[in-house]
Amino acid sequence: MKNHIKELRTKLNITQEELAQKAGVRRETIVFLEQGKYNPSLNLAHSVALALNVGIEELFIFEN
């Protein structure tokens, strides 16, 4: 699953560590999310979207 986490995070000028703290996960998880190597749970997707002030559907690109 692709996402816009890196673009939005850069736009907000926050580090991966700061985003991880806001979302309540480890920095490595943010790294894997940004690289599209990890599909988050709905809970985590919601937390990250909240931390970046966007909706889940704007943040993640759902593909078949």
Partner 1 sequence: MLINSNTKPMTLKQYQVLRMAVAVALGVIFSQAIIFRNYLIPIVAVTIAFLILIMVKKKVKGVVADERDYAIGGKAALLTIQVYSWVAVCIMFFLYARRDLNPAYEPIAITLAYSTCLLMIAYGLIFRYYDKITFLDKKVIYTVLLILVFVAVIVFGLRLFSGEDDWICQNGRWVQHGQPDFPAPTRECK
Residue 41 touching partner 1 (CB under 8 A): yes
Pick the binder of partner 1 from 3, 5, 8, 40 (CB under 8 A).
40
Q: How far is CA 41 from the centre of its chain?
A: 11
> What letters, b where the CB count within 10 A reaches 16 and e where it falls short, cover 33-61?
bbeeeeebeeebbebbbebbebeeeebbe
Q: Tell me which stretch binds partner 1 (CB under 8 A): 1-9, 37-45, 52-60.
A: 37-45
C-beta closer to partner 1: residue 9 or 40: 40
- Which among 2-10, 41-49, 53-61 is the span making contact with partner 1, rule CB under 8 A? 41-49
Task: Return the structure tokens found at 53.
Answer: 């002030």
